[in-house]
Each structure stands twice: as C-alpha cells, then as structure tokens.
Structure 1
C-alpha cells in the first residue's frame, strides 16, 4: 500500500487469530475490536480532511490524462459530426424533443412523445410514439405540410408486453397520402373529433441523417433516483471499449451524482439525455417507466445515424468471447439484422474475486497500477465486471432475459428481451452461441431472498480481458467528474433482498 497503514481487513485477521488462540477470553477480543474501531475512525477522519480540499492531489498518484481533455467546468458542448462544438440543446439526436405531452380533451387517455416519418420498404407513415389507455383508439391525425394541414386516417398499434395494465406504450400510425409533396413537418392527434395544437410534435425524418458512429446503446429510463455513479461510468466505459460510440439515456429521476455523470458525458458528446416526465404511474398503470416507448423511440433516433444499436440495461453487459470488440464479433458471425445474446446472472451476493488484488496491487504484470491510480487499495472503485466473476453455469434460453444488438433501420418494434417485428423480408436473426458471447447480468436475486445462489455456478473471468484499460478509464473519468473527491462516490447499498 502506498500509505503503509494496515487496512481494516488486516486488523480483523489479527483479531480472528487472537480469538482462535487457546486461553484468549472474549473480553480481550472485545477490547481489541473497540481499539480497532477507534483507529479506523481516526484514519477515516484523515481521509476526509485530505479529500475535502479542491487543491490537494495525493503526491503518489499521477494525475489522469483525461483531465487535460476537459476545459472549464461550465463546458456544455457536444462534438458535432463535422467536429464543431454544439450546445447540448443543439444535439441532433436529442433535438427536436418535447417530453411527454397530454392530449387535451382526451381525459388522460392519450399522451405523445415524438414522431418519425417512416418510409421504409413500402411504409409511408408518420409514426407517433404514444401512451394510450388500453381499448381506446385514435381515429385521425392532423399533419402540417408547408402552409397546409391535412387530416388523415390513423391506425393504432399497441406495443407488446404491456402486462394488461391500464396504459400501454403504442404507435399511432398516420397515413401520409402518396400525392402529397414534401415531408410532414409536424403532427397532432385528433381525439373526440378535436385537434389539440398544444400537443403537436415535430416530425423527424429517418432519411438523410448525418452518420454518428458504429453503435448506439439504448437504455431504459432512469428512475427511483438512480444514483450509482461509479457503476454508470463503468457501464459507459466498458461499452466504449467494446466499440460503442454513443449512449441514449432517458431521465425520469436520478440522484445528484448520476446527474453529474450524465452532464459530463453530454459535454464530451458521448451521450444524449432526454427528459422522461412519465405522465402515468409506473408499474401500477404502465409497465416499468414506460420502457417500451423509450426503447422504440431510441431505436428510431438511431436509424440512419448508427450501423448498430444495442438494447440493454445499466447492469447488463454484452460480452464477446474470443474478440476484443462487439463489432468484430458480429463481423465474424456473419451478416444479420439482429444478434441475440443469452442472459447469465452474476449475482452480487457471491464473493468478490480476489485475483483483482493480485492483478492491480500485487506482483502481476500490472504491478502498482492500482496504487498509481487510486493510492490505497480501499479507494479503488468497486467495479461489477472486475469483482463479480461467479455466475450461474447455464444461460437462459434466447428470448428469456436475453438482450440484443440490431441494425436499427431493419427493425419496426423492439421489446425488452427480443425484437418483435422487422421490416418485411428483413427478419435475419442470429442467436449468438454462448461460447461466442453472453449477456452478463449483475444483480441481486430476481425474486428476492437468497435462493438464487443455490443454482449450479462457476467462475467466469472473461471480462478480466478488459480489466486494466477499463480501470484506467474509470479512474480518469471519475477524477474528471468529481475533482473534489478525485474518484467516484461509493455506490449506495443494495438494500434489503426481501
């Protein structure tokens, strides 16, 4: 260790050895534990004083180079496709947006978010992303094209996986007449024979978009004040190592630490963050945070901008085997429009992998890397893909808990674990063989309690292939985002498994 101070684990080993000695009384052990608690309190006070100063940098820690990339802390720019600095409000993937709008006169039966002109392979719709009270219908749309408005018939398509709740994510498909010149500029839905101009949304054109990168990553909306900053940084940096170029997030509610992470990645041009003021009650009235409206909206924002789009959650990592990047994996597997990765659980209750210490702080090829980045080992970030290497031996079948990567232009409707609909004739789906890639899912037991740990399991260190570059990148980004701490804040506790 760089400080030479014993850790709490060292103290506990001393106490345990003393307890095992014949003749040692419990009173002696109790006194020792009391002294250890006092020592650790004083050490923590020292650490607090060290990290409370904005100007203090530990003398034995090299300043991460990523800090030199950032300008002043009030930078609010993103890199455009031509290298120009744009404001966040000019992010072409984010704009135009309106957040959720309630359609007047609908008595909270209808809400709209965004719309897209979809003319792929025989289609000619303005496709509106909506939330609809089930069994309700939209009969017509009003399209604005130049100086004229047209009232056209509408079709209603409920997005699957709605669990028969009161509301469902849906597409409202507005027919665009073939004899109309010029694309529609905006759309309003007609409900009860009335048009609500206040809920008009701009129509985004899927064609003639500027190329942004090889792969976007779509994530379901953040909620419950999500505030695990270090795991979000790990998620972004791991996928960037695997070839992802952009992340599209939807923000219902996040905590202050995650807010800073999102603003940081926006300023770097790595992320687009869209507001998600969900107008109905999650789980009670609609499936989790309106997840299917978000995932499908994200897929349509990706069309024409990215070659591939991954649909995952922040605790899910699509990990190739035998390849350094996901793009190399897909190239090796052949030309498909959807690649499905089978799910395997890495439960967080299982033990941490001790080989991390040897690799980062021991005598391995990366000797002293951890010390140079973090100082004491106790200050190293707790990374899921690094420390959690025990998993269930048998992956789930494709379509059950699985996640996927698509060519977004060939997809009509995505679900949570599979693609429900492709463009006509474009259903080219590959279930990725488990020996070529898996979806690593890091979480507590999905049904509560601890019974999940009883399943047949094994050690899987595939992610350690990226451990060293990942740890470096997380350290650099956390230092840049939280200069006062010089690291990412410790993640909140997991909470009760019950």
Structure 2
C-alpha cells in the first residue's frame, strides 16, 4: 500500500494536467470563434441571411450578374447608420493583409462594424471592422473614412465584402440543408449588398501607365475649352490615363468626355454622392452649406488613388484648371527622374500653386486662334500673367505627384498618411511649378502688379493643333 499512494497521486496529477490542457484548447478555440469565425449568415442593409455552400455559389453568380459596369461606383448604405460605402480594395501593405473599405461617415456617430468576406475557396467569414476617419474634413459633419476588415488566414483572397452595423439584430437563420433538399432562393429585395474587392494582385513593376491624373469632382461643368486644353497638355507631358469623377456637366462637355473615352485616354466615374447626402458646392461650410465637402471630393481622390495603386507608376492629384509644368525639361517623363535624383525616390512631390487670373487678358503675340471664340470655357493661352505668390501663402493649395504604393490616405492638398514614405518634398519652383488658371485670388491687385510668365507658349503650336482636332472630331466645332 505504501507504494500505491504515490502512484495514485501521479495518476491524479496526470488527469488534472490533461483536463487543464483540454480546457486551454477549448478556450483558445472559443476565442478564435469570437474574433474571426466562419459564418452561416451574411448581413445586408435590410437584414441578415443564413446561407449554405450551394446558396453561396448562387449568390456569387448573382453578384457577378449585378456587378456595376466598368468604372461605375456603387454606393451602399450600412444598415441602421449614416455610413455610405464607396469602394473596397485589398490592402497588401498591412500585416496581416486587410480589406480597406472607403466610406463616408457621419463623424459624430459612434458605430461598431462587422465585415463579411466572400472568399475564393467558397468560404465566408465575419470579422470586426475598424473605423479610421480621415483628419481632413474641412469642418463638415460628414467625412471620408476607411473601414479596415481583417482577413483570416483561411480566406483564400476575398472577392467581395459586405459591411454591417454590429448592433443590427434583424436576423433570419436558415438551417443547414438536408441531402436532396432544394436550396432556398433569395429574393432580390433581401439579397446581400456586397462591394467587389479590387487590387487583388500586387505589382511592383510593369504598370499599365506611367502617369495617371485624377480629376475631381465635376459638377455643373461647362468649361469645355480649358478641359480640352488640359487633357491635351497632360498627353504632351506624358500622361496616358485621366480619371474624372462626374456628377453633372453640359452637353458639350459630355461630347468631349465621350470623345476621350473612345480614344482610351479618359475613364469617367459616375459620382452620385449628391443623391445620398446634402453635398456642399464649396470647400468650407461658410462657402457652401451642406453636410459633405465639395461633392465628396476627398472620397473621390482616395478612390482614384487606390483604383490606380497597381495600374500606374505615378498618380497626380489635380483639378481641371491646373497644370504642373516643368521649367527645365518638357515632360513629366523627363521631370520625375530629376526629382527622384534630387529628393530621393521615397517621397511624394509637392508643386507650388501659381494663380493666373482668368479675368485678365493681355497681348500675347498673335497666337489667339479665332475659331475658339465660340467654344464655352477659358483659353489658358490668353492668360499669361500670374499673381505674385505671397510669402505667407507659398506652401498653400499645392498639388502632388506621388507613387501611390507609398500612400495610404490623401486629401485635396497633399498626403494625410503614408506607407514607408520619407515625407514629401517641396519642389523648387525653378524646376517645376503649378499653373492655376482660375478666378483671381488676390482681387486687390492691378494689372501692373501681375508677373508675366510665357512658359505655356512653348507648348502653344502643338497645343493649338491638338485642341482644334479634338473640338472638330468631338462635334464642338
């Protein structure tokens, strides 16, 4: 008996150890299921649906059938919130990878989100969505934001994502289907609302375009002549793709948009933010009442940045009345190697804003083509005198050219957040600067206080010819 007691104690200790290990394993599994779990339901703006593997396959076919046409945005409201989803992109630069959903949110609203991911291996998962509101909103109630959705390691590249409020309780549970039993079909009304996850393939070279320009936002637009001049100047500078986020424009403008779209130069993104929110026509609440800055300009710029993340080597964030002109070379193709040599590659490049008032027309040596006088809009070649740049405003209202893979969030003027980027470089105005032909900003200046700058005339001969061709072939002339 003296030898049996130690053996019994050892057996009890072994049993206790085994029970402890089992308890730990169960706890770990429960934690995993709490944070990321494979789900048999999918939330949408009007409810949550149970789903089986067969139904998931059917759902994927429906999503493909109902997917927006190329270039379209498909805004989606998140149930029980003021959140509006814009687009979704696979974010390769986080560890682990995530899905970045670009959204517009009511900044004062507190919301917890859930993301549902449809994966290529016919699995669907739910995880928490982390809200990141951009710091630039110019004082409007609504602002641009990112909802970051964690991707579980068992998800083989998400193809679509849906976002729901975590507080939404309207669920419809569908039991697992028995063998031979027909799968329940979903009405279109209750079908989940998903965004396609773009940027699935990461690239570091061999891009479709060297330079892409993002123009936002176009509303009530009729400045036909300046738009055509800008598009032709972009092409001379080395740009092969331009994106326009369009809300509304004149018939003449639409003919020009159609012309450049057919040529493959332009991609027009329908931008219907005004159908969802009370958007402002101004950049400050005092300049234009509304709930969101300038027709959702910041959301459009961020969408354009991510849309071209792996399409274009560089992206320029522009307005249609702005041109970044090199001073020592002719094109951006020649300019960017100079900038990267001077300031290093791991930077974005900021260009000084120079205003050329479009209400001041001074003699310019007989280069005015009479046939443009019936075309609506501003002729940039007629306005070659700029306002002096005040010392206290040198670093304001600049625009950028950037490697999009170094950036995570942008605003109207500059970068808000970056990824492995060594800041932004302020480009010497003697190397390149921005020509901004617009209404005067320093209204007190007289004509003799303006500074002549004829740099645009070095492009005028080829520009006039190209503009004439476009106006003629698009039916404007």
Question: How far off its partner does 1:333 sit?
Answer: 2.0
Question: In the TM superposition, what are the counterparts of 1:270-419 in structure 2 within 5 Å?
Answer: 270-278=265-273, 279-283=276-280, 284-334=290-340, 335-336=344-345, 337-355=347-365, 357=366, 359=367, 370=369, 384-394=379-389, 397=393, 399-419=395-415
State TM-score, norm by structure 2: 0.72
Shift of 1:121: 5.4
Name 1:187's counterpart in structure 2: 161
Offset at 1:286? 0.5
User: Larger radius of gyration, structure 1 or 2?
Assistant: 2
Alignment CA distance shift 1:208-1:139 (3 Å) = closer
Q: Secondary structure at the match of 2:462?
A: helix
Shift of 1:457: 2.5
Partner of 2:208: 212
| 8 A Cα contact 1:102 1:199, kept in partner | no
Instruction: State the partner residue of 2:63.
Output: none
Q: CA deviation at 1:454?
A: 7.7
1-side partners of 2:405 and 2:147: how far apart?
19
- How far did residue 202 of structure 1 move? 0.7
Offset at residue 304 of structure 1 (A): 1.1
How far did residue 197 of structure 1 move?
5.2
Query: Quick check: 2:96–2:151 contact (8 Å CA) kept in 1?
Result: no
Which structure exhibits the higher relative contact order, with contacts defined as CA atoms closer than 8 Å and separated by 6 or more residues?
A: 1
The counterpart of 2:140, out of the listed 154, 165, 182, is 165
Q: Residue 176 and residue 121 in structure 1: after superposition, are their counterparts in 2 closer, same or farther (change >3 A)?
A: closer
Following TM superposition, by how much is the alpha carbon of 1:122 offset from its aligned partner in structure 2, in angstroms? 3.3
Q: Secondary structure at the match of 1:127?
A: strand
Distance in 2, Cα, partners of 1:128 & 1:199: 14
Counterparts of 1:64-75 in structure 2, within 5 Å, are: none
Verify the 8 A CA contact 1:213 1:306 in the aligned structure 2.
Answer: yes
Pairwise mapping of residues 215-254 of structure 1 onto structure 2 (< 5 A)?
215-223=211-219, 225-254=220-249
Alignment length, in residue pairs? 371
CA distance in 2, matches of 1:275, 1:438: 30
After superposition, give the CA deviation of every residue in 1:277-324 in whole Å (9 maximum; x if it has no partner). Answer: 112111210111111100000000111111110001011111110111
Question: SS of the counterpart of 1:185?
Answer: strand
Q: Is the 1:143–1:149 Cα contact (8 Å) retained in structure 2? A: yes
For 1:16-70, what per-residue CA distance to the aligned partner results, in whole angstroms no more than 9, with x for missing partners? xxxxxxxxxxxxxxxxxxxxxxxxxxxxxxxxxxxxxxxxxxxxxxxxxxxxxxx
Please name the residue that 1:13 is paired with.
Answer: none
Other-structure match for 1:124: 97
2:168 aligned with 1:174: no
Separation in 1 of the partners of 2:266 and 2:465? 20
Question: How far has the Cα of 1:140 moved from its partner?
Answer: 1.6
TM-score by length of 1: 0.69
Check the 8 A contact 2:108/2:141 in 1, yes or no: no
SS in 2 for 1:221: strand
Identify the residue that residue 197 of structure 2 maps to in structure 1: 203
